[in-house]
Amino acid sequence: MATRIYAINLDRSTDRWHALSQQGKEHHLELVRVPGIDGTQIPPTNRVDFDELAFRRNNGRTILPGEYGCYRSHLKALAAFLESGEPLGIIVEDDIQLQPDLVDRVEAAFNALAGADVIKLFNHRVVWFKRSVRTALGDEIGRAAHGPLGSAACYAVTRAGAAKLSTALLQMEYPWDIALERGWANKTAVYASKQNLTTVRRQGSTIASRSVYKGTKFPWWRRLGTYARRTAETLRRINFALQARHH
């Protein structure tokens, strides 16, 4: 069986699911819809496994309802993949533009890099990249010493990796995209593709606009502790990148 794609989609985003499922049919890719969790429909008092103090401390701002829903939705997608019993899965958000060779390139990446738990396939930025392997299909897989890379719109994960993430990231302290790539903290062998293996359709975020994000930030003087933590995170990230396997 070819590697399946687990697509997170909110019930209200029917247009996105229609577009994505049509792509799947056109490219002969098998999609499994994972109903997303709408964080706007969950009162703050009903949020589970969420450390609000840690989130504020780590990110220097308050959480957005959509971020909470996104986080829980990714955990739900990992659970669906684990339940399938399959060795490898691809997790995507519904604004992804699927490529016909996505599965082939993902399988080539894991064949080239034994021991990888997670490979991020789409990133907003890849800086100070240290390559571990070049796959049979020409993709460079490794780690970036500068980050965050941004986005969890498309990544591939093994069963072992999904099990690790489901346990280590059960309690939310960061947005999902940042938490995912912190392999030094979640004890997961996380890598990234230097070249994006897919693109994102420009449809606007279902979480919040840039101005709304900005409005959640604390004043600079309340973010001094966050800046110190980010400096320490930068050093850990560099060390993590330098420890990347080279084949």
What DSSP string describes 120-160?
E---S--EEEEEEEE-TTS-EEEEEEE------SEEEEEHH
**Distance of alpha carbon 39 from alpha carbon 73, whole angstroms:** 9
Instruction: Give the domains, in start order, of the chain with CATH numbers.
Output: 4-242 (3.90.550)
Residue 88 and residue 160 in contact, taking contact as beta carbons nearer than 8 Å: no
Q: Which helix (DSSP H) or strand (DSSP E) does residue 228 occupy?
A: helix 224-242
Residue 138 burial (CB < 10 Å; 0-12/13-18/19+)? Answer: exposed
Q: Per-residue pLDDT for the chain (247 aa), expressed as one digit of tens each?
A: 689 999 999 999 999 999 999 999 999 999 999 999 999 999 999 999 999 999 999 999 999 999 999 999 999 999 999 999 999 999 999 999 999 999 999 999 999 999 999 999 999 999 999 999 999 999 999 999 999 999 999 999 999 999 999 999 999 999 999 999 999 999 999 999 999 999 998 765 666 667 777 888 999 899 999 999 999 999 999 999 999 877 6
Residue 89 and residue 3 in contact, taking contact as beta carbons nearer than 8 Å: yes
pTM, whole model, 2 decimals?
0.95
Residue 143 pairs in a beta bridge with 130
